[in-house]
Structure 1
């Protein structure tokens, strides 16, 4: 079904729970919160997805996205253990928001290239529909990250007063 191998299903189903976890944390905390139960689960599922991409990917760009996702994921969760103060929260927010973008970029691409089964919405990587969807994700990243950093800056100013 959908031309996905058994290992591809492991990759897909292993990383799929990260999507609702990501949306939950954005709605609940305004960011991916690594010190929450949802954040720990997000880390696990993203690590599964980022790690298994090397076993199922066919395009070189997939290896880059998988590697970048793993590096940003480890950096985003690891920066909280460094004595960086407010700067650490900014770095954590940037790194983990980028992991969300790198999760959604191939997700949207693969959905458009595989659904409906046998007659996908997109058959060409240069399709206007695909490029528009990817561009929309980039705009969401820029707006969302700008908002997150603005909110963090306001929280920091309130804490100083």
Structure 2
């Protein structure tokens, strides 16, 4: 179904929980909260997706996305351990994990549009206006979201410093 191998399904189903978990945390907390039960679900799910992409990928960009995702997860989940409770740690954590969510959604949108509906996908060309528009919209959402997160963190720091 959808031209996905068994390993591809493991990759897809394994990484799928990260999407609703990330969305919930963005809405509820304005960011991905790494050291929480849902943050652990996000980490495990993202690692399943990032690691298995090396086993199923056919394009070099997939390896780059997998590597970048793992590095962003390491930065996001390790910032507080390395920097302690320094203000910079919260910024690194927030930005890294938001970028990891972007790197999850970019291939997700691409693959959904290239596979659905089964047998007659909405997009057959990587230069399709629909696909490029969806990817561009995702980029705009990332940039606006990062700006809001940084402003929010700065305000929290100002309030905490008062």
- The two structures have a TM-score, normalised by structure 1, of 0.99
Give the structure 1 partner of residue 112 of structure 2: 111
The unaligned stretches of length 5 or more in structure 1 are none
Work out the CA distance in 2 between the residues paired with 1:83 and 1:126.
42
The list of structure 1 runs, each at least 4 consecutive aligned residues, that deviate by more than 4 angstroms after superposition, is none
Q: 1:138, CA displacement in angstroms?
A: 0.3
Give the structure 1 partner of residue 65 of structure 2: 65
Worse-matched range after superposition: 47-56 or 79-88: 79-88
2:83 counterpart SS class: coil
The unaligned stretches of length 5 or more in structure 2 are none
Give the structure 2 partner of residue 146 of structure 1: 147
CA RMSD of aligned residues (A): 0.7
* 1:82 maps onto 2:82 in alignment: yes
Work out the CA distance in 1 between the residues paired with 2:58 and 2:83.
40
Work out the CA distance in 2 between the residues paired with 1:25 and 1:92.
14
Give the length in aligned residue pairs.
161
Give the structure 2 partner of residue 95 of structure 1: 96
Q: 1:5, CA displacement in angstroms?
A: 0.2
Q: Deviations over 1:91-115 (max 9, x none)?
A: 1111000000000000000000000
Q: Deviations over 1:92-150 (max 9, x none)?
A: 11100000000000000000000000000000000000000000000000000000000
Give the structure 1 partner of residue 21 of structure 2: 21
* 1:157 maps onto 2:158 in alignment: yes
Give the structure 1 partner of residue 132 of structure 2: 131
